[in-house]
Amino acid sequence: MAFSGTGKIWMNGSLVNWADAKIHVGSHVVHYGSGVFEGARCYSTPRGSACFRLDAHMRRLIDSCKIYRMEPQVSLAVLTDAVLETIRANAFKACYIRPIIYRGYNELGVNPFPCPVDAAILTWEWGAYLGQDALENGVDVRISSWARPAANTFPTLAKTSANYANSQLIKMEAVTEGYSEGIALDTAGYLSEGSGQNLFVVRDNVIYTPPLTASILPGITRDSVLALAGDLGFRVREEMLPREMLYICDEAFFVGTAVEITPIRSVDKIPVGNGRRGPITEALQTAFFDVINGEAPDQHGWLSYVYPGEPLQTAAAAGAARSKGR
């Protein structure tokens, strides 16, 4: 979906008009992918606009900086406040949030140290990443011919712009061949993740997901789904998974800020289970969407409200608070 091209963007401490949020073509990040970024969402709930796990996203942003020896000019607290300020400046009820910290303009040697560490925060309205229909009916995917980076090459615990060169290869191959997404293996041949989402599979009522050592980004949605699966009493195992697990599992689904929880209905043209969204996927979707839509108590403290006066006390929230206090 193309940008509307209006509104405000936060750049190095100031809110600027969308059209003025420019950097020089000589900036280090343009040539060498020397940026780290986040993707979070703000949801419109009955109690007001709330960011989902903003603290966890901002922590991962700072972790990514640390891995790449970047020292942001402002603190984590200032950056977090700036996210809220940017949403308010655009008067969004719901939006996607993209903070980025990058090596700016000074010189173009590979050594990034002489370049300033700049920061920007974009927000825009962005609906279901793979389409609304995908959330219910699932997507068709292929195993990518591209692997995720090997250990000790590109660190996958960092959400760096450079890693998305690999993601683009996975995504382009998939869409060129008529699939919605690709799933990459790690260099040892075990299941890793999609181009921009983590992966879960279900077999015999046990939920499996690849561990951090399978070259995955440590997804915030993945972590949330693990917590919700625990709340719902499911058995969950984080372990290395062979490719063929995807061909024989009962259910499979992607998770991520963009895709939220999206069922996978076929892999390499082999139907997953009966080719429809499975019951465990649906139960996790319901639990997840109930929290982000404010229809269930936020018992993990995942929502941070954006506007003064929010959260609003609604009858449902007051009831939930009363029963929690019992």
Ligand X SMILES: Cc1ncc(COP(=O)(O)O)c(C=O)c1O
Contact indicator for 133, 141 with CB cutoff of 8 Å: no
Q: Does 196 bind ligand X (CB under 6 A)?
A: yes
The 34-53 site mask, x for binding ligand X (CB under 6 A), equals: -----x--------------
Residue with Cβ nearer ligand X (222 or 277): 222
Window of 11-19, 171-179, 192-200, 271-279 that interacts with ligand X by CB under 6 A: 192-200
Residue with Cβ nearer ligand X (198 or 209): 198
Give least dist CB 106 to ligand X, A: 29
Q: Does 193 bind ligand X (CB under 6 A)?
A: yes
Give least dist CB 246 to ligand X, A: 17
The 224-263 site mask, x for binding ligand X (CB under 6 A), equals: --------------------------------xx------
Inter-residue long-range contacts of 175-181, CB under 8 Å, 24+ positions, other chains counted: 177/142, 178/140, 179/139, 179/140, 179/141, 179/142, 180/130, 180/134, 180/139, 180/140, 180/141, 181/130, 181/139, 181/141, 181/254
Q: Does 147 bind ligand X (CB under 6 A)?
A: no
Cα angle 272-292-299, degrees, rounded to a multiple of 5: 105
Q: Does 198 bind ligand X (CB under 6 A)?
A: yes
Amino acid at 296: A
Give least dist CB 100 to ligand X, A: 13
Q: Does 167 bind ligand X (CB under 6 A)?
A: yes
Give least dist CB 135 to ligand X, A: 15
Q: Which residues are part of the catalytic machinery?
A: 159
Residue with Cβ nearer ligand X (115 or 139): 139
| Interface contacts to ligand X, rule CB under 6 A | 39, 167, 193, 196-198, 217, 219-222, 256-257
